[in-house]
Amino acid sequence: MAYLILVRHGQSEWNVVGKWTGLTDVALTDEGRAEARRAAKMLEDIDLHKAYTSKLKRVVHTLDEIVLHLNRRDLDRTEHEALNERDYGELTGKNKWQVKEEHGEEQFMKWRRSWDHPVPGGETLKDVSKRVVPYYEEHILQDLKAGKNVIIAAHGNSLRALMKYLESVADDAAHTVEIATGEVVVYEIDNSGALLKKEIRLTNTNKV
């Protein structure tokens, strides 16, 4: 058995102002770094063996804060673009709430949370899943089957795609899969790669 830990990056500069960030490489806020440290406190009982992140600095810096708190600067780390955030295309940089006002709730939610409703010039969650899941199966799953505890620090949509896959969530229920900034989800995975248990250890409303 091994642990698979999913952590969404802490609050970013564009999270604060409500912009669709996507592949824009924005930094964490001070609160975002604090969220990462709170996440780390939830993992003090797990001996981490491997870490995976996207190539975007808000995620890399989130993991930096976690390994500093856990005194694990030696942790084996891999960065890969397969774990990058969803490309929001023409929505990138736009204020979410202004878009909602201009286009209405129904269209807004289709762009934001649906499985395969197209975004102009960007990716759907289905597209994100097509790169996240194969990377998980080809690389991360092998570590888990070998009994290694793995942490993935990534983004709202790359983690949503993986959670949907791990929990066998139907396509038409994809909108129900959520992970907030700084949130910690811990899965127990057996030696065959099957999901045994899910535990949410921290949401961004917890202050510790």
User: Three-state SS for 97?
Assistant: helix
Helix, strand or coil, per DSSP, at residue 8: strand
Candidate list 9, 49, 61, 155, residue with the active-site label: 9
What is d(CA 127, CA 87) in angstroms, rounded to the nearest whole number?
Answer: 10
| 9 catalytically annotated | yes
Q: Amino acid identity, residue 191?
A: N
Cα 131 to chain center, whole Å?
Answer: 14
* Given the residues 35, 61, 65, 85, the one annotated as active site: 85
φ/ψ bin of 147: left (φ > 0), alpha (ψ from -120 to 50), beta (otherwise): left
Catalytic residue status for 188: no
CA 180 from chain centre, in angstroms, equals: 9
Residues forming the active site: 9, 85
